[in-house]
């Protein structure tokens, strides 16, 4: 595997289900991100992890719960979602340099989520 | 308020017809401007990073330029395979993305 991989690629779930999205990066980066992409809207940054520590949480509802067990793996745990949460969820990774910020991000193919 | 605006929203070109896409931004403390290409059903693919006004980067038929207020992605003699959505993003305290320009190149 190379780059950033995401599973599953497609997910359909009911509002009472619990599911998890998985992301793995093979680039040796130290920062990972979750984004939400909805039609006609800019990518919405949800969470940022730097060296496994969560550094940003952009007012995301608690029904989305991230987990970063190491610098290569990132999960997004989902529970009691709403239909408006249907979107493409993208994972990305980049190299973070102390004092210089984050370099360009490399994205996975995304998980297309549909909430019924 | 930090924001990124891309124009036009959609662009149709004949094969070989050169044009430019615009990304204007208002951020405090620009730490990088990024261009991505996104094909339907796929994640964005990184193209360029620009850090300072006057900087230019090229890749095949694409050339990105940066001023203090905007960036242009110039497409020279486009081909149908250049059809995609092109996203611009800036980094200040965090990443801000534009809504993209959907480019269609007609054979």
DSSP-based three-state secondary structure for B81: helix
**How many residue pairs bridge chain A and chain B with CB atoms within 8 Å of each other?**
51
**Beta strands A106-107; A87-94: pairing state:** antiparallel
Q: If you count them, how many residues does chain A have?
A: 116
Model confidence pLDDT, tens digit, residues A2-50: 899 999 999 999 888 899 999 999 999 999 999 999 988 889 999 999 8
Q: Is the pLDDT of residue B100 over 90?
A: yes
Neighboring chain B residues of A92 at a CB cutoff of 8 Å: 43
Q: Is the pLDDT of residue A115 over 90?
A: yes
B57: contact with A, CB 8 A cutoff:
no
pLDDT (0 to 100) of residue A54? 74
pLDDT (0 to 100) of residue A55? 73
A60: contact with B, CB 8 A cutoff:
no
Q: Is the pLDDT of residue B71 over 70?
A: yes
pLDDT (0 to 100) of residue B48? 93
Cβ pair A42:B99 closer than 8 A: yes
B41: contact with A, CB 8 A cutoff:
yes
User: B74 to chain A nearest CA, in Å?
Assistant: 20
pLDDT (0 to 100) of residue A82? 94
A66: contact with B, CB 8 A cutoff:
no
The mean pLDDT of A69-78, rounded to a whole number, is 94
Instruction: Name the residue in chain B with its Cα closest to that of A93.
Output: B46
CB atoms within 10 A of CB B38: 21
Q: Name the token pair of A25.
A: 């990066």
Q: What is the mean pLDDT of chain A?
A: 90
Contact B102, B10 (CB under 8 A): yes
Could you tell me which of B62, B14, B95 has the C-alpha nearest to residue A93? B95
DSSP-based three-state secondary structure for B8: coil
């Amino acid at each position: 595997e190379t780059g950033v991989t995401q599973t599953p690629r497609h997910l359909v779930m009911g509002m009472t289900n619990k599911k998890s999205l998985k992301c793995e990066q093979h680039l040796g980066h130290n920062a990972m991100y979750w984004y939400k992409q909805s039609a006609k809207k800019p990518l919405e940054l949800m969470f940022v992890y730097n060296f496994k520590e969560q550094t940003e949480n952009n007012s995301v509802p608690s029904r989305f719960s991230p987990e970063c067990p190491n610098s290569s793996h990132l999960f997004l745990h989902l529970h009691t979602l709403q239909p408006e949460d249907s979107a493409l969820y993208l994972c990305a990774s980049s190299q973070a340099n102390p004092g210089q910020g984050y370099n360009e991000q490399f994205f996975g193919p995304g998980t297309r989520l549909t909430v019924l | 308020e930090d924001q990124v605006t891309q124009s036009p929203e959609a662009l149709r070109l004949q094969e070989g017809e050169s044009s430019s896409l615009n990304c204007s931004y208002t951020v405090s403390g620009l730490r990088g401007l990024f261009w991505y290409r996104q094909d339907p059903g796929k994640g964005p693919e990184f193209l360029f990073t620009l850090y300072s006004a006057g900087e230019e980067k090229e890749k095949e038929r694409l050339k990105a330029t940066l001023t203090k207020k905007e960036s242009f992605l110039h497409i020279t003699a486009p081909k149908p395979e250049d059809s995609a959505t092109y996203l611009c993003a800036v980094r200040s305290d965090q990443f801000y993305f534009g809504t993209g320009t959907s480019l269609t190149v007609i054979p």
